[in-house]
Amino acid sequence: MSEPRRSIATVCLSGTVEDKLVAAAAAGFDGVEIFENDLIASAASPAEIGAHCRELGLSVDLYQPFRDFEAVPPARLRENLRRAERKFDVMEQLGTDLVLVCSTVSPEAVDDDELAAEHLRTLAEHAQARGMRVAYEALAWGRFVNTYEHSWRIVRRADHPALGLCLDSFHVLSRDGDPALIRTIPGEKLFYLQLADAPKLDMDVLQWSRHHRLFPGQGSFDLTTFAGNVLEAGYTGPLSLEVFNDVFRQADPKPAAVDAMRSLRLLEEQLGIPVAEPAPELNGYAFAELLADPATATGLADGLAALGFVETGEHRSKAVHRWEQGGARVLINSSASEPDTAEIGALAVESADPLRSARRAEAMSSPILPRERGPQEAGLASVAAPDGTGVFFCDTSAPDGWLSDFRDSATPPEGLITGIDHVSLTQPFDHFDEAALFCRSVLGLEPEEVTEYAAPFGMVRNRGMVDATCSVRIALNGTLVRRGEWAPAVRDPQHIAFTCTDVLAMAERLRASGAPVLPIPDNYYDDLDARFALDPELLASLRRGSVLYDRDAGGEFLHVVTELFGSRVFLELVQRVGDYAGYGVANAPVRMAAHRRQRMAASQPTTPPA
């Protein structure tokens, strides 16, 4: 199967129609659906908008929506035909021949398929006389016609070559419709295909549609089966996105259009269309890089040393030091200038084929970042995640690999820490779904269940992204509403979690050495006792070491976290016992409150004012 044409409805994106067209073209779309309100609000004439589309290399694939046409009294039908003729004038100027007509919600309409078919046939005759066509769409909340099977019965009954169907995945899948019958519709009667995903929500379908549609791959609809059936029926038009979403409506349209394009390419891949080389197998983290100002970098180095890490090398050309223990590698980049800064600047994954990873990233709309590079330095490819974090593809064992960019000073020690278990990134709410889609399409990670919890400063959403062998885990976190300005003390926390073979022994060691472990209050341990009835000795060790504990169907999780370095970064040591699959999210509110206490205490003057 060759690559299909890709289209996007202007309603998906924020801004004026001009902003939307420029963004759609820049993201590589072939065409657009012009949403009527976007056109009406524009100062440009339809002819100018059409010309602008063509200059940008975009075809106008559809004009939409035309509402409440069919099965009405004769006087209303005459008005509706007059209204349609005016819209055909607009379409003529725009340079499109296809209009979307939604099934009626009008109180004037009657429940009469024969009359609806007759009216739509009349409309199709008018359209045909102008060289145009009509795509009839069953809205999920249509008054009488609200399934595609029903809209197809009417279109078949009308039997006019200028009348066909528009299928919209949301309207079918939100009603748990069975897409299997789509395969029985002749391909030439499928005039248009609109794709939208959505999260499973138990709410009014109109509200669900208007606020919560998502790009394919971001929600829980089975779009692969749906779109697969449409293609199998013989549909040859564009794959078009029609997504009404509160976030996308106000987001910068350029990255939103890229996100949209990425979603289509991932869907096409799942449909068996060769749009990108398959994601190479991953084999854990090569490193994580922390970016800090020099003073905070010193604190981080001390913190890593307290955990048993050793500085093993210095970068040949940059202010970057490499710290290691077992298979865990952390780079400390001390080139930030703002005081109190520490953030995860980059993460690097071990790829079975770094060059293929890079080519896949580009095919998935994530261009390789330009990189300053010394003459002897390795050609590391990296892309930017939606939050700006760099993602590198590495083969550490290669003779000319990234390690050769460092002057070695020590060999990595073996200790209780053996590698990186996960990296936790905080996403602004607006980018949460985009970040998950990036991990999925570019890195080939699969999304885990979404968890939401009440934290001291707001509701937080958590979603793990993991590769097939659980060697790379990325924990995405984001507040459900933008984080309040009032006094959160720790904005957008991030952490690197190291795999530790014995967290209790480590906690004991850290306590003895006075390492900056985050103190956890007694209330937490009293509650643990109430919930889990843990062995008293285990409970006492957890309490003594400020170790957090969780349990799921697969096993247990022990974890201990450090105090903050700078304003937002901490380190975590985790031990998965059995097949525990989570991230200890239940303990996050306790940890957040403890970090706030640390920040507030640190901001107090050391000597009380006289």
Extract the annotated binding site for Mg(2+). 422, 495, 572
Candidates 115-123, 409-417, 512-520, 580-588: pick the segment binding Mg ion (CB under 5 A): 580-588
Applying CB under 5 A, does 497 fall inside the site for Mg ion?
yes
Backbone Cα Rg of the chain: 28
Which segments within 398-488 are labelled E, that is strand?
A: 406-408, 417-426, 446-455, 458-466, 473-479
C-beta neighbour count of 171 within 10 angstroms:
26
Q: Does 33 bind Mg ion (CB under 5 A)?
A: no
- Residue 43 burial by CB count (10 A; 0-12/13-18/19+): exposed, middle or buried? exposed
First-residue to last-residue Cα distance in the chain: 79
In the bound complex, what is the minimum distance in angstroms from residue 44's beta carbon to Mg ion?
Answer: 24
Tokens 């019958």 map to which residue? 181
The reply to whether 168 sits near Mg ion by the rule CB under 5 A is yes
Q: How far is the CB of 80 from Mg ion (least distance, A)?
A: 20
Q: How far is the CB of 251 from Mg ion (least distance, A)?
A: 21
> Of 438 and 583, which has the nearer Cβ to Mg ion?
583
CA distances from 87 to 62, 90, 573 (A): 12, 5, 63
Nearby residues of 267 by Cβ (< 8 Å), 6 or more positions away: 195, 216, 217, 223, 224, 227, 239
Interface region with Mg ion, contact rule CB under 5 A, candidates 163-171, 205-213, 255-263, 512-520: 163-171
Instruction: Report 407-426 residues binding Mg ion (CB under 5 A).
Output: 424
572 with 560: CB under 8 angstroms? Answer: yes
Nearer Cβ to Mg ion (238/280): 238
Q: From 166-174, 210-218, 393-401, 524-532, give the range in contact with Mg ion by CB under 5 A.
A: 166-174
Omega into 493 within 30° of 0, i.e. cis?
Answer: no
Residue linked to tokens 């070559």: 161
Helix (H, G, I), strand (E, B) or coil at 166: strand
Interface segment toward Mg ion; rule CB under 5 A; list 51-59, 237-245, 275-283, 483-491: 237-245
- Residues written for the chain: 610
CA distances from 540 to 110, 544, 545 (A): 73, 6, 9
**Which H or E run contains 239?**
strand 239-241
Shortest reach from residue 4's CB to Mg ion, in Å: 18
Q: Which is nearer to Mg ion, 406 or 457 (CB)?
A: 457
User: Which residues are annotated binding-site positions for a divalent metal cation?
Assistant: 137, 168, 194, 242
Judged by CB, which is closer to Mg ion: 525, or 557?
557
Residue where the block lists tokens 């869907």 = 267
Number of CB atoms found within 10 A of residue 2's CB: 5
Of 53 and 167, the one with the shorter C-beta distance to Mg ion is: 167
Compute the least distance from the CB of residue 185 to Mg ion, in Å.
17
Query: How far apart are alpha carbons 489 and 529 in whole angstroms?
Result: 30
Looking at beta carbons only, is 483 or 591 nearer to Mg ion? Answer: 591
Nearer Cβ to Mg ion (371/491): 491
Q: Does 546 bind Mg ion (CB under 5 A)?
A: no
Q: How far is the CB of 451 from Mg ion (least distance, A)?
A: 12
DSSP 37: H
Q: Contact region for Mg ion (CB under 5 A) — 242-250, 342-350, 376-384, 453-461?
A: 242-250
Closest approach of Mg ion to the CB of residue 595, in Å: 13
Question: What is 579-604 written as a DSSP string?
Answer: T--S--GGGHHHHHHHHHHHHHHHHS
Q: Tell me whether residue 35 or residue 406 sits nearer to Mg ion (CB atom).
A: 35
Give the separation between CA 497 and CA 422, rounded to whole angstroms. Answer: 5
Closer residue to Mg ion, CB minimum distance, 104 or 424: 424
193 touches Mg ion (CB under 5 A): no
Query: What are the binding residues?
Result: 137, 168, 194, 242, 422, 495, 572
DSSP letter assigned to residue 565: B
The residue at minimum Cβ distance from Mg ion is 168
State yes or no: residue 151 binds Mg ion (CB under 5 A): no
Round to whole Å and give the CA distance between 499 and 420.
6
User: Cβ of residue 576: shortest distance to Mg ion, in angstroms?
Assistant: 11
Residue range at the interface with Mg ion (CB under 5 A); choices 221-229, 374-382, 455-463, 569-577: 569-577
Least Cβ distance, residue 142 to Mg ion (angstroms) = 11
Our CA dihedral for 18, 19, 23, 29, rounded to 10 degrees, sits at -30
Q: Which one, of 464, 460, 408, lies nearest residue 582 by Cα?
A: 464
194 part of the interface to Mg ion, by CB under 5 A: yes
Tell me which stretch binds Mg ion (CB under 5 A): 274-282, 392-400, 544-552, 564-572: 564-572
Total interface residues for Mg ion by CB under 5 A: 7
Return the closest-CA partner of residue 24 out of 40, 38, 34, 13: 13
Nearest-angstrom CA–CA distance, 21 and 16: 9
Q: To the nearest 10°, the Cα dihedral for 7, 9, 10, 13? A: -90
Q: By CB under 5 A, which span of 147-155, 188-196, 400-408, 598-606 interacts with Mg ion?
A: 188-196
Structure tokens at 272: 């068996």
Nearer to Mg ion, 141 or 287 (CB): 141
Question: In the complex with Mg ion, which residue's Cβ is closer, 424 or 541?
Answer: 424
**Which positions from 419 through 478 interact with Mg ion, judged by CB under 5 A?**
424
299: exposed, middle or buried (Cβ count in 10 Å: 0-12, 13-18, 19+): middle
Rounded least distance, CB 373 to Mg ion, Å: 33
CB 609 within 8 A of CB 584: no
Neighbours of 172 (CB within 10 A): 21
Taking CB under 5 A as the binding criterion, the range among 193-201, 369-377, 479-487, 506-514 that sits at the site for Mg ion is: 193-201
Determine the Cα–Cα distance for residues 518 and 305; give it in Å rounded to an integer: 16
Nearer to Mg ion, 38 or 242 (CB): 242
Q: Minimum Å distance from CB 215 to Mg ion?
A: 14
CB 169 → Mg ion: shortest distance, Å?
9
Residue 354 or 545: the one with the smaller Cβ distance to Mg ion is 545
Query: To the nearest whole angstrom, how small is the minimum distance from the Cβ of residue 199 to Mg ion?
Result: 18
Catalog residues that contact Mg ion under the rule CB under 5 A. 168, 194, 242, 424, 497, 572, 583
